Amino acid sequence: MAKVHIVNVVVLDNPSPFFNPFQFEITFECVEDLQEDLEWKIIYVGSAESENYDQTLDTVYVGPVPEGKHMFVFQADPPDEKKIPVGDAVGVTVVLLTCGYKGQEFVRVGYYVNNSYTDSELQENPPDTPQFDKLQRNILGTQPRVTKFKIDWDDAKDSENIPPAENATDGASMSQSSTDIREKS
């Protein structure tokens, strides 16, 4: 049984200019005291074609975590635009919020992100080289994709990682599981 459950995630400052920081207000519940810190990450998917373009925007360690409900705001700088393929800069991509314990990821919350020009002239005639300073980022905050993985918590007799188990369903509730966010259309 998972010892940590995400109760809610609120996407702050959305929509926002491309170069603004990502901000998520995360509320989670811990069913018992944890021996080690939780590792939270924000990952920007630069291209659906290859993980080589993924950028970990920030990692924070939260702990020690006592039993109960907790909330914090996780803020990260925007991605390095020089690491995003030109053909993937404008349009739909993904941002992932992950959490792990003892080196094991146990939940991934994915959001579709639409990067678009706000200027109608640039929308109709997009430049060959993306103008990131004129792009707006819009995170579809009400439609997250949640994937949960079974892991060894503190009470496991051995330290082997239990293979991931996913329950595939769609839905915005943080307590549900859904398909892996990397399956973009």
Q: What is the DSSP string of the chain?
A: --SEEEEEEEE-S-SEETTSPEEEEEEEEESS--SS-EEEEEEEE--SS-GGG-EEEEEEEE----SEEEEEEEEEPPP-GGGS-GGGSSEEEEEEEEEEETTEEEEEEEEEEEEEESSHHHHHS--SS--GGGEEEEE-TTS-EEEE-----TT-SS-PPPPP-------S-TTS----TT---
The tokens for 130 are 């993306």
Q: What residue ranges do the domains of the chain occupy?
A: 4-148
Average of per-residue pLDDT across 74-91? 97
The pLDDT assigned to 73 comes to: 97
Q: Which CATH superfamily does the domain covering 4-148 fall into? A: Histone chaperone ASF1-like (2.60.40.1490)
**What is the per-residue pLDDT across 6-38, written as a single tens digit (0 to 9) for each?**
999 999 999 999 999 999 999 999 999 999 999
Mean pLDDT of the chain: 86
Q: What is the model's pTM? A: 0.83
Average of per-residue pLDDT across 85-101? 97
| Lowest-pLDDT choice from 2-11, 75-84, 141-150, 165-174 | 165-174
Q: What percent of the chain has pLDDT over 90?
A: 81
The pLDDT assigned to 156 comes to: 52
Phi-psi category of residue 49: left, alpha or beta, with phi > 0 → left and psi -120 to 50 → alpha = alpha
CB-CB contact of 98 with 41 (8 Å): yes
The tokens for 54 are 């993924």
